[in-house]
Every structure is written in structure tokens, then in C-alpha cells.
A and B are shown apart, each in its own frame.
Chain A
Amino acid sequence: MDRRSFIAGSASLAAGTQITPLFAQGAPVELSFFYPVAVGGAITKLIDAYAEGFNKENPTIKVTPVYAGTYQETLVKVLTAHKSGAPPALSVQLSSDMFTLIDEEAIAPIDGFVKTDDDKAWLKGFFPAFMANSQTGGKVWGVPFQRSTIVLFWNKDLFKEAGLDPEKAPANWAEHTAFAEKLTKRDASGAVTQWGVQIPSTGFSYWLLQALAIEAGDELADSAGLHTFFDKQGVQDALQYWVDLGQKQKVHPPGVVEWGTTPKDFFEGKAAMMWTTTGNLTNVRNNAKFPFGVAMLPADKRRGSPTGGGNFNISKKASPAQQEAAFRFVKWVTQPERAAQWSIDTGYVAVSPAAYKTKAMTDYAASFPAATVARDQLEFAVAELSTHENQRVTKALTDNVQAALLGTKPVAAALKEAQAEADRILKSYR
């Protein structure tokens, strides 16, 4: 008996003793639900409230939400539990990890639970841009939940100070550079006290690069997750533009910019514009002490942003009763009214057009027009980079993007190396 089967054996023994009573008459079906938090704000409270509300309406089911850390940590926890035989029945994972989860046989297709006409109508109700990362091989594997696009936030006070129109965001790359130049302030010794723009490059640097690449007219990967195009001209132009902002125009901090502290830099007035997920919208609204604007990302050849964020996934190894219960919870949470409220509370994009027609949402959008920017950008959105062995492929890209931003590798060489590494990893899947 090797170590893995030993662990699996003892875990299934433990799980078995827990699960058996669930099938007894009258006892509620219990399931745990792992979810990550990737933005500021009180997300855990909202999720706890959902579970409580659902459990009250459905006394035969008991959903226990478990906060599992970042997206990466949640994936690690869920896959570890999966390999030991007792995974949580429901989890929220990056939509881009779909292929990884399928390859590990960790998730069950959603189609299997869609039975009634009502179910079918519900599944068709999501924005097509979000479904692009949720289905492959003719099956639906994930249900959109905390989904986002990248948007540009700008500080209206600093725009005014710099002599710019505070109501007008940069529409294209040239304007974006010109604005950033005006917004960068230096003291007498030449040290920068305020940066024009910040595009974070830790953690999600592949995602930000993808936005620039789409705008420059190229995609990073095919939809089957088998081929990447990291060394195409558009991707090179994109990375070059980003590198130049820091090294040539010097309107963006040099080196690598931390994802987590970028909103804080914006609140402190150290960065006049920032690119980040729309999931930070409510965080910014609560913490920015100045009027701010939200805009679609500036265009080069076209407008564009990758979608991002998390989908609901149902575990393949959970019991049928748990899977069914998980499906009902997912359907309940993504109803238009709740999706609208979730979007209002966080800033994530509500996942269905119907949610934007609810009264709560139309009222909110009327008082806070920024709330619909990310939705409007969906028209130009492209599926987030997603391949087999996604974490490994994105690391190859992330490392090389960072090397280019640090100035240790020329742009073309960095992207060529990332492409070679991705080819090596994906070869065995083709």
C-alpha cells in the first residue's frame, strides 16, 4: 500500500462514517462549500448570509461555507481533499482552472443536473462572455459567480489638479500615456511623489498582460487550452507598452507592482489611475476619500479585457445527494435578485442580463453609473487565459513578464521563452 492509498483509505473511512447518516430519513444533507476571497471588503459575511438564508428556506439541506484563502490556496485545498477522497461538494474556483480540474477528474459537468425547463432557462440566462470559460467539449463545467473584468479607476481630484477633464478617462493607449505623463509628479530632487498609472504585476500579471494583448489585437491561447500564442506580435506590443510606461516614459513605478497594495496606493493618492478587477469597486467606493471614475480599459487596435474571477464547481466525488443539493444552492444564489445584490455589495459583474433588469440594480445604476461599466465592457471581453496545467503555464508567463518589467530580459526574448516553456508543458496534451 503506498502513501496515497493509505491516506485515501483512512480518509474515506473517516468520510464514510460521516456520510452514512446523511442517507437516513429526515436528516438534512450536509455539504461544505469552499470559497476564496481575492478583493477587499467583507465578502465572508455576505457568503455566510447566503448559506444561512438558503438553509432556512431548505431545511433538508445544510450548506457550510468555508473560507479557503486566495484562489490558489482554495485550489490546493480542494485538490488535496479530492485526492484524499473527501472533497467539499461545492467550491468556487478560478474559471481558468477548468482544464486542470477536468484533467484531475475533480468536477462533475453541470449538464447532468439540469433537468426541468426552468433549469434549462436558468443555464441559458448567463452572459455568453462568462460561459466561454465555463464550457468545453460540449459540456458545461462551471456556473459563473464572482466574475469580473479589468477596469480603469481614476482619481478625479488629481485629474483636475493636472489640468485634465475630470470626467473623461483615456480612450486609447496614446491618451493613456499622455494623461499618465501629466499625472506624474516629481519633487525638486526628481523623485516621484505621485505616479500617473499603476498596472499591478504580482499574482495576476498574466491577466493584465492579456488585457493589453487583446487591445493590441492578439489572444494568448486557443479555446481548447492546448496552444498558447505568447510570442505573437500583438502580445509583444502589449508587453512593450507596459514596460515602456515604467522604463521609458517613467509614469509607472519601475519593477514589479504589488497586486494587493495597488488599491491602497490609489486611496493614498500615490497613483492617479489604476487597473484592477471590477471586484474592487465597492472597496474603492467605501475607501476612496475623493471623487473617482470607472472606465473601460483604453483601446489600441480595439477595446478589450479578459473576463476573470470564479465559477461554482460541483465535486465529482461527492455523493449524488450532496451534488444535487449543491446544484440547488448554486441555482438559488445566482437568481437575478441575488446576483444583482451580490454585484451591488461587491462590485463583481452580475452574471446574467436579467440581474441588470431588476429594480434593485436599475436604482443602484441610476445613483452610481460606474456600476455598469464592467457589464458594458463584456461586449469586448475575451475568455481569460486557460490551458491544461494552467498554474504551470501561467507561471511560465508570469515569470517572464516580470523579468521584462524588471528590465532583466528584452521583451521579445522573455515572451519567446514563455512560449517555449508552455509548448513543453502542453505537448503531452495535444
Chain B
Amino acid sequence: MIRPASRALTAWLLLAPAMTFLFVFTHWPALASLMESFMSTARPRRPSRFVGMDNYQQALSDPVFWKSLTNNLWFALGTIPASIALALLMAIWVNDRLPGRTFARMAYFTPTILPMIAVANIWLFFFTPQYGLIEQIASALGLPSHNWLGSGDTALGAVIMVAIWKEAGFFMIFYLAALQAISPVLAEAANLEGASRWTYFRRVQFPLLMPTTLFVLINAVINAFRMVDHIIVMTRGGPDNATALLMFYIYQVGFNFWDTAYAAALTTILIVMLALIALLQYGWLERRVHYQ
């Protein structure tokens, strides 16, 4: 019989390796960023000093910060509902017993496996003016030529497209797993009752999928604020910051301008925003989710 004290010790020892990594690589950097955000950036001849809220005030009066924040909100609005809806549609489609089902699943999942950098380079070709894939199709249909990534009106839309294409397959996998966990008895019962396909989806499948939807939604929100790889490859935030997202701007400030203190302040703003959104999602949505 093990005494409670030594059991607690064993538990802590078992937790220790993971906790250490979590603390060193997640919690401590987050705390350090928070502290650094109240300091000035150290330069070799000008050591870092306490500046209070200066960095945050700089953010409030920084037009590029506001631009990337609004861009990011549009990016979230453009990618999240579309990719979730698409994922659900694809999952229901490939969940049915249709010929070549495995192939269809694989095809939908492929974008997720590809590295984002490669994907962005492929899309860069699709969007190339004059001889890119989209332009070739457009000119075959007699539509006018357009510089998709080089014009401020369409550049953000173009990178949103890529993100949706990349994300939907990933979310589909979660929906597919959840769909397969739904008992076939329910479908049979619905059939006997003469429920239409749409009623079955709306009244049975969709409510049962809510836990998955919540999970996917949280992931989608985080991803919307985290994705930068394809921005770096495709537009570098241009033209004139039309596609600058918050994370990309933080990278620029931190690693191109080496203004680490200001970057830390921007990071803190981003974390607080994401934390608020997550709280909202859990607090409000969780109550409407039906867990089996």
C-alpha cells in the first residue's frame, strides 16, 4: 500500500518532464514577452530601460498595426465560416458509400499534408498575371486579365482563398471521424419515420456534431491569427500592407527591424485578444453544445 504523500510525489515526478518543457518553452517566453513589452528595445549603445505603456501607445498610433489588425479580422471572417462549411460538406459527401470513396477522401486531405511553403509557391503560379492558371482559364472564357496579388483590392481575397483550400481538408478529417461515431441506428430510425435528408442533417447529424464544431471553430480562430507562411511567400504583406496580418507584422517588427520590445507589446495584444475570444467561445458556445 502506497502512502498518499508518496503517491502525490510519484504523480508530480511523472508530470515533471512535460511540465518542464511546457514552462521553459511556453509559459516562460510568454511571461518574458509580457515583461519585455514594458521595456525599451536594447541597442548595443542604449541599454533597455523601463518605459511603461510607451510601446502600447506606439501601437495605438501605428497605422500599419491597425491595418494588419483589420486585415486579420477580414481574414478570419473570410476563412473561418467558409472552411468549416466546406469541411462539413466534404465530410458528409465522403462519408457516404460512393464509388472511389477512399480516393475522394485522400484528394480532399492532400492540401493538408503539403507544406505551406510549397502550397504558396504553387498558388503563386496560379495567380500570376497573363499566363498563370487562373488567367488562362479567365482568358479562355473571355474575361479580362487581372493582377490578383498585385492589386490592393484582390490580394487579401487571394490569400484567403489559399487558406480556405489548405484548411478545409484538415477540418474535414475531424468531421469525418465524428460522423462515423454517430450510430447508424439513428439514420435507420429517421428513414423509418420518413425524415428527409435535410431534416436528418439539421435535427440529428448537426447537433451531434456540435462538440466537433466547437473544437474546429477554436482551431480555426487560432489558425486565422497564426498563419503567415503563405503571406511571406506570396506577398510579403504587400502591396502597401494590403495582406499584412498581425502575426506577419510582429515577425517584421521583431526580426526585420529588431525592435523586440515593440514586437513583445504587439504579441501581448494578440495573446490577450485570442484569450478573450477563447473565453467567449467556451463560455457561450459550450452551453449550447450537446455532449453524448
Q: Which residues of A contact B (CB under 8 A)?
A: 2-3, 72, 75-76, 79-80, 100, 103-105, 189, 191-193, 201-203, 253-258, 261, 264-265, 268, 270, 389, 391-392, 395, 398-400, 402-403, 405-406, 408
Other-chain residue from B32, B35, B236, B259 in contact with A202 (beta carbon distance below 8 A): B236
**CA gap between A362 and B131 in the complex, in Å:** 39
Decide: A392 near B255, CB < 8 A? Known: A400-B240, A406-B239, A408-B240. no
In the assembled complex, which residues on chain A have CB atoms less than 8 Å from the CB atom of B259?
Answer: 392
Q: Closest A-chain residue to B142, C-beta based?
A: A189
Is B252 interfacial (CB 8 A cutoff)?
yes
Distance of A261 Cα from B147 Cα, bound (Å): 13
B256: chain A residues within 8 A (beta carbon): 72, 75-76, 391-392, 395
B198 at the interface (CB under 8 A from A): no
- Residue ID in chain B nearest A428 by CB atoms: B46
Contact B241 A399 (CB under 8 A): yes
Closest to A407 in B: B152
For the A-B complex with A253-B129, A395-B257 known, give 4 more contacts whose Cβ atoms are closer than 8 Å.
A2-B36, A76-B256, A255-B151, A258-B150
B43 and A254 contacting across the interface, CB-CB below 8 Å: no
Contacts of A202 in B (CB 8 A): 150, 235-236, 238-239
Q: How far is the CA of A265 from the CA of B145 in the complex (A)?
A: 15
Quick check: is B12 within 8 A (CB to CB) of the other chain?
no
With both chains docked as a complex, state the minimum distance between the C-beta of B38 and any C-beta of chain A, in angstroms: 13
Pick the contact of A265: B130, B149, B236, B239 (CB < 8 A). B130
Closest to A77 in B: B255
B44 within 8 A of A: yes
Chain B residues engaging chain A, CB cutoff 8 angstroms: 28-29, 32, 35-36, 43-44, 64, 124, 128-131, 139, 142, 144-145, 147, 149-152, 235-236, 238-241, 252, 255-259
| Contact between chains at B238 and A256 (CB < 8 Å) | yes
CA distance A398 to B257 in the complex (A): 15
* Cross-interface CB contact of B29 among A3, A268, A405, cutoff 8 Å: A3
The 6 closest A-B pairs by CB, nearest first: A256-B239, A256-B150, A255-B150, A3-B32, A403-B240, A402-B240
Kindly list chain B residues whose C-beta atoms are within 8 Å of the C-beta of A395: 252, 256-257
Residue pair B149, A258 in contact (C-beta under 8 Å): yes
B147 touches A253 (CB 8 A): yes
- Check A270–B131 contact: CB distance below 8 A: yes
A202 to B150: give the CA distance in the assembly, Å: 9
Please report whether the interface of chain B is mostly helix, strand, loop or mixed according to DSSP.
Answer: loop
Note all chain B residues with C-beta closer than 8 A to A400. 240
A257: chain B residues within 8 A (beta carbon): 147, 150
A203 in contact with B150 given A79-B258, A389-B257, A391-B257 (CB within 8 Å): no
Cβ contact of B44, chosen from A104, A189, A398, cutoff 8 A? A104
Cα(A408)–Cα(B67), bound, Å: 14
Cβ–Cβ contact B44 & A3, under 8 A: no
A406, B131: Cβ atoms closer than 8 Å: no
Measured between beta carbons, the chain A residues less than 8 angstroms from B32 are 2-3
- Return A219 CB to nearest CB of chain B, in Å: 24
A191-B145, A192-B145 as given contacts; A103 in contact with B44, CB under 8 Å: yes
CB pair A80–B255 under 8 Å, yes or no, is: yes
Beta-carbon contact of B252 and A255 below 8 Å: no
CB closest chain-A residue, reference B127: A258
A270 CB to nearest B CB, Å: 5
Q: Does B147 contact A254, Cβ atoms closer than 8 Å?
A: yes
When C-beta atoms are compared, the residue in chain A nearest to B233 turns out to be: A260
The answer on a CB contact under 8 Å between B257 and A255 is no
Minimum CB–CB distance from B260 to chain A (whole Å) comes to 8
**In the complex the two chains form, is A261's CB within 8 Å of B128's CB?**
yes
Contact between chains at B147 and A256 (CB < 8 Å): yes
In the assembled complex, how far is the CB of residue A391 from the closest CB belonging to chain B, in whole angstroms?
5
Question: In whole angstroms, how far apart are the Cα atoms of A268 and B128 in the complex?
Answer: 12
CB distance from A267 to the nearest CB of B (A): 10
Known: A270-B130, A392-B257. A255 touches B142 (CB 8 A): no
Specify which of B36, B64, B236 lies most central, judged by the most chain A CB atoms within 10 Å of its CB: B236
Closest to B139 in A: A191
Q: Give A255 to B32 CA distance when docked, in angstroms.
A: 42
Given known contacts A189-B142, A191-B144, A192-B145, A406 and B152 CB-to-CB distance under 8 angstroms: yes
